Amino acid sequence: MPNLPPGVSRKDFQDAIAQFQTVVGKDWIFTSDEDVELYRDSYSPFWHEPEDPVPSAAVAPDSVEHVQQIVRIAGRYKIPLWTVSTGKNLAYGGSAPRLSGSVLLDLKRMNRILEVNDRNHYALVEPGVSYFDLYRYTQEKGLNVFIDAPDPGWGSPVGNTLDRGGGHTPLRDHFSTLCGLEVVLANGDVVRTGMGALPNARTWQQYKYGFGPYVDGIFTQSNFGIVTKMGVWLLPMPEMRFVGTVAVPKHDDLIPMVDTLSYLMNSNIVQGTTRVNSPVTAQARDPEVVALRAKPGGATIPDLEDYVRRKNLPYWSIDLPFYGPTEVVPAQWAFAKRKFSAIPGVQFRDGATNQLPPSQEDLAKVANPVPLGVPSLAIFSALGPNSHGHIDVSPITPMTGQAVFEVMEVFDKVLREMGIDNVGVVPAGTYYPRSFFFLFTFQIEHDVDKNRKMRAAFRRLVQVGAEHGWGEYRTHLAFMDDVAQTYSFNNHALLRLHETLKDALDPNGILSPGKSGIWPKQMRKARA
C-alpha cells in the first residue's frame, strides 16, 4: 500500500501514476513496496524509526520531454517530486526524499554523454552519467582530459556539482567547473542558461555567463528546477602529480605553516586537496597520547610538544599535491620549500610521484586513485568493515592556524560533554579555495537509541559551529532545516529570498519540498 503524498487523495495519486505510466511506460514506474523500498536512504540516521522517509512511488524518465510531461502531471495533481540523478549521494540522503510520500523522479536512465571535447576540455552530460561512466568514455575514446571525481565514483557530475561537492585535483571545487545548464521548470518550460540561451549556441560549454543575470547558482542545492543537462569543465591531462610533505615541530608553528599554505594555494602553486595532520589530536590512539589527554585538565601544549620530540614526530604535517609539466612541478616544490623554510625546524620529504595518465601497473600500487584522475570507491574502506554508513558535520572555517586550534578545541569539548568518542575527524581540508573544511564523521547505526544520541550531537555541533561563525557547506536530508536556520542574518533574509524564488518558480510546490530547508508555501512552518 503506497505511502501517499501529503494532502493528495488516493484517487488523484492513482490517476497521476497512471498518467506517469503513459509517459515512461510500465517498466519505469515503481509502486510496489518491494521497489519503493529500494529508494530508502541506505545511510539513514533514522533506521527502524518512523521518520525514515519513504517515497510513494518512483518514476524514471528517459528524456527531457518525459521530464516536462511528468512535472506538468505532477503540477496538475500537486504531487511532490523528489529528484535524484544517480541516487548515490550517500551521507546526504542517497536516493530518499526529504518528504515522505514524495514521488521519486529517478533520472538514472538519462545517462547520455553528449559531448567530451579534448581541444577545449569540457563535457556535456545528462544527470544519470556517473563519474565511472565519464571516465570509461574518455578511456575508450583516448581523450586528453583529466576528471576530477569526488571520493565515490558512482555519483554523477551533475548531482555532485549541483550539491556543490568537492574533489582532489586542480578542478576540485565542482561548482566552479559548471558551464551551462538545461533546466526543466515546474511549469514544464525548458531553460538553457549562459550561452545556451542563444539559439545555435557555439560556446555553451566555453563561456559561463551569457547575458544578463547569472542564474546557474540558484539551481544548486535548491528545488527551483530539474537539471537535465550540464556542461562541466575538465582539465587537460597533466604530465605528472607529485606530493611533497612539509613537517613542523611545534604547536604554534601551525600559524605560519597555514599562512604559507594559503599563499601557495591562492597562487595556484599547490593545486589539490590536502589536510593538516597531527599525531596528537584528540583522535590519536597512541596510549601515551590518550593518557596525556585524559589527565586532569587535559594535555598541555608542552606535554604534547615533548611527546612528539621524544618520538621524533612532527607536531603538524601537510602533504602538498602538485600537478603539472615535468619541468614545472619540481620548480613548484622548490619554491614551496623556500617559502616554508622561514619556519625554524621545518622538514621536507619527497613523496609519491606519478606520471599521468597513470599506467595500469601504477594504479595497481595505489590505494586510492582518485587524486590521479581515476574514479574509485576506495574511500569506503575508511569506514571499517562493519560500518552501516556515515554522515558528516562539515563546517567551513577560515584558512588559518588559529581557526584550526579553535575548531578542534570547541568541537572536542562538545563531543566530550556529550559522551561521544567515536567521531572520525578530517581536520582542515582544502576542498574549496581560501577556506578550510572540517569533517566530523558519525557512523550510522541500526540502533534507535544510538542514532538518537548521534543526531543530537550532530545538531549540537551544527549549532555551536554557527555560533562561532562556521557554517555547514552541505548536509544530510535530516539536518537541512537545522542548517538553513543557522544562515539567519537579518531575520533569515536569505531563506526568505529562497522562499520568494520558490513561490515564484514553483507555485504548486511540487519540486523537492524541503531541499536545503526550502519548503513550499503550503508546507512552510512559521519561523520562531
Partner 1 sequence: MRRVDIEPHPKPSRDRQGAVHPCRMLALVLVLSASSFSQDSRQSDRGREIYQKWCTPCHGNGLGRPGTAAAAAHGQKPAVLESRTDLSPKMIETAVRQGPNFMPRFRKTEISNADLAAIEAYLVRQ
Strand 103-106 to 57-59 pairing: parallel
User: Of 38 and 313, which has the nearer Cβ to partner 1?
Assistant: 38
Q: Which of 109, 293, 460, 492 binds partner 1 (CB under 8 A)?
A: 109
User: Of 386 and 490, which has the nearer Cβ to partner 1?
Assistant: 386
Residue 277 Cβ vs partner 1, minimum distance, rounded to whole Å: 20
Q: Which of 80, 94, 166, 520 binds partner 1 (CB under 8 A)?
A: 94
Neighbours of 114 (CB within 10 A): 13
Beta strands in 33-99 (DSSP E): 57-59, 81-84
| Of the candidates 56, 21, 25, 24, the residue with the CA atom closest to the CA atom of residue 40 | 56
Indicate if 473 belongs to the active site.
yes
Indicate if 323 belongs to the active site.
no
Does 364 participate in binding partner 1 (rule CB under 8 A)?
Answer: yes
User: Where does this chain touch partner 1 (CB under 8 A) — which range of 3-11, 281-289, 376-384, 398-406?
Assistant: 376-384
Rounded Cα distance between 159 and 402, Å, is: 34
Residue 348: partners with Cβ closer than 8 Å, 6 or more residues away: 244, 245, 246, 247, 337, 340
User: Of 289 and 374, which has the nearer Cβ to partner 1?
Assistant: 374
Structural element, H or E, at residue 406 = helix 401-417
Beta strands in 300-371 (DSSP E): 316-324, 347-355
Does 220 participate in binding partner 1 (rule CB under 8 A)?
Answer: no
User: Where does this chain touch partner 1 (CB under 8 A) — which range of 8-16, 286-294, 358-366, 514-522?
Assistant: 358-366
Rounded Cα distance between 19 and 61, Å, is: 13
User: Of 78 and 109, which has the nearer Cβ to partner 1?
Assistant: 109
Does 505 participate in binding partner 1 (rule CB under 8 A)?
Answer: no
User: Of 25 and 469, which has the nearer Cβ to partner 1?
Assistant: 25
Contact 425, 276 (CB under 8 A): no
Residue 297: partners with Cβ closer than 8 Å, 6 or more residues away: none
Structural element, H or E, at residue 181 = strand 178-184
Does 389 participate in binding partner 1 (rule CB under 8 A)?
Answer: yes
Does 381 participate in binding partner 1 (rule CB under 8 A)?
Answer: yes
Q: Which of these is catalytic: 43, 323, 431, 473?
A: 473
Residue 391 Cβ vs partner 1, minimum distance, rounded to whole Å: 12
Q: How far is CA 6 from the centre of its chain?
A: 29
User: Where does this chain touch partner 1 (CB under 8 A) — which range of 45-53, 85-93, 231-239, 262-270?
Assistant: 85-93
User: Where does this chain touch partner 1 (CB under 8 A) — which range of 40-48, 266-274, 337-345, 462-470?
Assistant: 40-48
User: Of 10 and 365, which has the nearer Cβ to partner 1?
Assistant: 365
Contact 71, 79 (CB under 8 A): no
Rounded Cα distance between 214 and 200, Å, is: 20
User: Where does this chain touch partner 1 (CB under 8 A) — which range of 220-228, 380-388, 418-426, 506-514?
Assistant: 380-388
| Of the candidates 239, 232, 270, the residue with the CA atom closest to the CA atom of residue 433 | 270
Q: Which of 30, 122, 315, 436 binds partner 1 (CB under 8 A)?
A: 30
Supply φ then ψ for residue 261, to 5 degrees: -60, -45
Does 37 participate in binding partner 1 (rule CB under 8 A)?
Answer: yes
DSSP string covering 103-137, please? EEEE-TT---EEEEETTTTEEEE-TT--HHHHHHH
Does 200 participate in binding partner 1 (rule CB under 8 A)?
Answer: no
Rounded Cα distance between 351 and 292, Å, is: 31
Residue 286: partners with Cβ closer than 8 Å, 6 or more residues away: 279
Rounded Cα distance between 322 and 330, Å, is: 9
Does 385 participate in binding partner 1 (rule CB under 8 A)?
Answer: yes
User: Where does this chain touch partner 1 (CB under 8 A) — which range of 183-191, 318-326, 379-387, 415-423?
Assistant: 379-387
| Of the candidates 495, 508, 525, 459, the residue with the CA atom closest to the CA atom of residue 222 | 495
User: Of 95 and 475, which has the nearer Cβ to partner 1?
Assistant: 95
Does 521 participate in binding partner 1 (rule CB under 8 A)?
Answer: no
Q: Which of 95, 100, 221, 260 binds partner 1 (CB under 8 A)?
A: 95
Q: Is 341 left (phi over 0), alpha (psi -120 to 50) or beta?
A: alpha
- Residue list 111-170, contact with partner 1 (CB under 8 A): 128, 132, 153-154
Q: What Cα–Cα distance (Å) separates residue 288 from each residue in 94, 194, 294, 303, 306? A: 40, 58, 10, 11, 12
Residue 353 Cβ vs partner 1, minimum distance, rounded to whole Å: 18
Does 445 participate in binding partner 1 (rule CB under 8 A)?
Answer: no
Does 28 participate in binding partner 1 (rule CB under 8 A)?
Answer: yes
Total residues binding partner 1 (CB under 8 A): 43
Does 439 participate in binding partner 1 (rule CB under 8 A)?
Answer: no
Does 498 participate in binding partner 1 (rule CB under 8 A)?
Answer: no
Does 528 participate in binding partner 1 (rule CB under 8 A)?
Answer: no
Q: Which of these is catalytic: 43, 92, 122, 307?
A: 92
Q: Which of these is catalytic: 172, 192, 455, 474?
A: 474
Does 39 participate in binding partner 1 (rule CB under 8 A)?
Answer: yes
User: Of 111 and 206, which has the nearer Cβ to partner 1?
Assistant: 111
Buried/exposed code over 474-511 (b: 16+ C-beta within 10 A; e: otherwise) = bbbbbbbbbbbbbbeeeebeebeebbebbeebbebbbb
Contacting residues toward partner 1, per CB under 8 A: 28, 30, 35, 37-40, 42-43, 58, 60, 86-88, 90, 94-95, 106, 108-109, 128, 132, 153-154, 364-369, 375-381, 383, 385-389
**Catalytic amino acids?**
92, 473-474
